[in-house]
Chains A and B, each alone.
Chain A
Amino acid sequence: MTVPQIPRNDAARKQSSAPYLVPLLVGGLVAVALGVYGREHTPTGYAVGPAGFSGAQAMKSWLATGAFVLAIVQVISALAMYGKIPGLQAPPWTGTLHRWSGRLAFVLSVPVAFHCLYALGAQFDVPRVLVHSLLGTFFYGVFVAKMLSLPKRDLPGWTLPVLGGLAFTALTGLWLTSSFWFFTTFGITF
């Protein structure tokens, strides 16, 4: 065991050389914890959620669609902030738009994920459900990693775009395996 003998300076330097380690580690733990909970906890088949829809599936489909639309706003506003949209000078409120559309998308996703995990659990029987279960846990892991990375100032420039891109990709997959499936199977119902 040579670990305790490493001088403090070395340890500190090591930590600062990979500042994204802690957010990634915490994000990974969150993803694993959600997956284990979804697998081990006996699904109740019942959960409280926003009222006004014909059923839980419709509620989740529409909230997820809202989150997905906001996620598109996220990608566009992020591209604008990074100056990746040719000929567009990002207006000063782009950052605010990005922050609040993201928060709203996250808040919309929570009742959906809560119903998924509490009432249904992670299931691997059908490919669609398997992909959805895995993407769901992955999404929150990436999201937590990104939130924890945001306040850090010493990160490589690619950290946030990569994490944001992964979150958007996961959310797209989640939407396709849930809302899109619901709307194409049962019709567009509220």
Chain B
Amino acid sequence: MKRLGPYHTLAAGVVLALGLAVLSVQTTPRTDDAAASSGIPDARATTKVAPEPTSTALTGDATATGEATEAAAPTPKRADYAGVAQGNGGLVALSIKNGKAIAYFCDGRIESWLKGTAEDNTVTLTGKGSLITAALGDGKAKGTLQVGKAKWRFTAPLVKKPSGLYRATAIVRGAKAVGGWIILPNGQQVGLVDIGDSPYQAPKLTPGSPVDVEGTRLSPEDTDAFIDEL
């Protein structure tokens, strides 16, 4: 009995971890349902259709092969990108979930929230007077960003938490407040809080802890928490 003890200990640990895994998988927000309810019914169909060009590529010409390479790496179901807007120094964050794409640009003075779609490894997003088009591949999103009349190129590599995009919403003195933050893997971050359409300087964000803006406590959440609502 004593000799089996250590095996029982290990087994208990494995069982506990498996139990947590099953619960986590079961209670994770159902991504497919989320895509359907967020008004992008095509998202699933697109991912299913995408691999088909592979068969034509076997006999096809160079162009078809190029398409097949893209099809071989389908549009990510869930991905977060963040990087710098070249020539501006502001940061761009882009997140994708089941064909839906959201993005945030901020340089500390100007900001823009954008949303759009991701299919065939291309994202197109629009916001108030802003536009982002980017190609996905090789672990990064590469494209252009247009805010008002200004236009910048950007390259945003895949990022993992705690890097990436954060958003907080609250009511501050009766006005709607929306805060946005982007954190890069090197620690660089930028943020802005918009209260009733006026920009306020955003306090430095430490992921996981709340921030105080104009006497109101905001709880910035990561992309998973709001990508379906935006």
Report the interface size class on chain A. 20 to 34
CA distance A110 to B17 in the complex (A): 6
Which single residue of chain B is at the shortest CB-CB distance from A151? B3
Contact A147 B208 (CB under 8 A): no
Contact B9 A44 (CB under 8 A): no
A sample of 24 inter-chain contacts (CB < 8 A) reads: A44-B24, A44-B28, A44-B224, A46-B224, A47-B24, A48-B27, A55-B208, A102-B9, A103-B12, A107-B16, A110-B13, A113-B17, A118-B20, A118-B21, A123-B160, A125-B160, A125-B163, A125-B185, A146-B6, A147-B6, A148-B6, A150-B3, A150-B6, A186-B209
User: What is the total number of residues of chain B having a CB less than 8 Å from a CB of chain A?
Assistant: 29
Closest 3 CB pairs of A and B: A147-B6, A48-B23, A151-B3
Contact A126 B24 (CB under 8 A): no
CA distance A173 to B12 in the complex (A): 24
CA distance A56 to B209 in the complex (A): 11
Which single residue of chain B is at the shortest CB-CB distance from A152? B3
State the Cβ distance, B173 to closest chain A Cβ, in Å: 26
CA distance A71 to B208 in the complex (A): 28
Q: Which A residues fall within an 8 A CB radius of B?
A: 42-49, 55-57, 99, 102-103, 106-107, 110-111, 113-114, 118, 120-121, 123, 125-126, 144, 146-148, 150-151, 185-186
The answer to whether A111 and B4 touch (CB under 8 A), given A46-B24, A186-B209, is no
State the Cβ distance, B184 to closest chain A Cβ, in Å: 9
State the Cβ distance, B139 to closest chain A Cβ, in Å: 12
